[in-house]
Amino acid sequence: MSKVSNTEKSRVVATIPVGTGPFAVAVDVHGQVFVTSRGDNTVSVIKSSTNTVIATLNVGLRPESVATDPQFGVYVANSGNVTVTALDRFNTVVATLNVGPPGPPPNMLRVAIDHLMSRAYVTDRGRDRVSIIRTSAEPPFVTPDFVEVPGPLGAAVDPVDHRLYVTQPEFNTVSVIDPATNRVIGSMAVGQQPMGIAIAPQKRRVYVTNSGFTTVSVIDLATGGSIGVDVAAKPIGVAVDSHGNAYVTASDGTVKVIDALSIRVSDTFSVGSKPEGVAFEPLGNRVYVANRGDGTVSAIDLAAT
């Protein structure tokens, strides 16, 4: 009989049923967790203090990414009809924005927000571009400016210098976009088929999941150097906590923790089937994981012992 660690038994404090095929996760400053469900075109809103679903919102076709802004609401990227659904702070739909004609590639759109720049960036893998939404406008709108990037997917904004980092799975690279010029100003080589990306500003690091292998690239923004951390399974999504630790969803039904000090896997948490998106919720000191295979969200309590 295999031994189950105390960590795995105690850290998952709730398994929350949501829609069909939950995929992406984001949190807001009010302790709400937003989970997209590709199978039924909805977003579930979870109250983190009770780990219960308090609302189910209809959005566009095949929602595959979600990001929040502390002032301007929530943005959901719908890959099925190449739109972005904008929600206000009361979770009411205020706009449905077209960011391009529908195309055949799956997993095509991702969204990232820069609050101070009043921008939402939308990667469009099918059209080789990153669109820009003006979030402070009422209603928000897609600007005529866009950035040409071959095959962009994952996106993350550095809150220190406001640069946008974009993964390119077909090229095994991450491109860096300057917000002042809306141009690519550099690229960094990573592992095979990079997908997820997260920035730890306090450590000046970028974490990139290399879905074509079993590694996570950890890039030092100060030096430009990088190392690969083997997580022993196909890595998919990644999020960071307030200390710079990274949480990586993996194809073996676990979340791997990369310690900010040692830059090694320090723990493994068992979650649901086919975990995808992941987000850190600071008010409750928890990590939320969307389990695409069983229609649930796992809540991991980082303070549990």
Query: Per-residue pLDDT averaged across 106-135, rounded?
Result: 93
pLDDT of 143 strictly over 60: yes
Written as one string, the DSSP assignment of 248-263 is EEETTTEEEEE-TTT-
pLDDT of 137 strictly over 60: yes
Average pLDDT, the chain: 94
pLDDT of 9 strictly over 50: no
Written as one string, the DSSP assignment of the chain is -PPPPHHHHHHEEEEEE-SSSEEEEEE-TTSEEEEEETTTTEEEEEETTTTEEEEEEE-SSSEEEEEEETTTEEEEEETTTTEEEEE-TTS-EEEEEE-S---S-SS-EEEEEETTTTEEEEEETTTTEEEEEETTSSS-EEEEEEEE-SS---EEE-TTT--EEEEETTTTEEEEEETTTTEEEEEEE-SSSEEEEEEETTTTEEEEEETTTTEEEEEETTT--EEEEE-SS-EEEEEE-TTS-EEEEETTTEEEEE-TTT-SEEEEEE-SSSEEEEEEETTTTEEEEEETTTTEEEEEETT--
Query: Per-residue pLDDT averaged across 100-125, rounded?
Result: 86
Angstrom distance (rounded) from CA 196 to CA 238: 6
Q: How confident is the model at residue 105 (pLDDT cuts 50, 70, 90)?
A: low
Q: How confident is the model at residue 4 (pLDDT cuts 50, 70, 90)?
A: very low
User: Which tokens go with 118?
Assistant: 């009043």
* Pick from 127, 138, 154: nearest CA to 71: 138
pTM: 0.94
pLDDT of 154 strictly over 80: yes
Tell me the percentage of the chain whose pLDDT exceeds 90.
Answer: 91
User: Which tokens go with 167?
Assistant: 């993964």
Query: Per-residue pLDDT averaged across 215-219, rounded?
Result: 98
pLDDT digits (tens, 9 = 90+) for 37-53: 999 999 999 999 999 99
pLDDT of 5 strictly over 50: no
pLDDT digits (tens, 9 = 90+) for 19-37: 999 999 999 999 999 999 9
pLDDT of 107 strictly over 60: no
CB-CB contact of 197 with 155 (8 Å):
yes
Q: How confident is the model at residue 88 (pLDDT cuts 50, 70, 90)?
A: very high
Q: How confident is the model at residue 304 (pLDDT cuts 50, 70, 90)?
A: confident
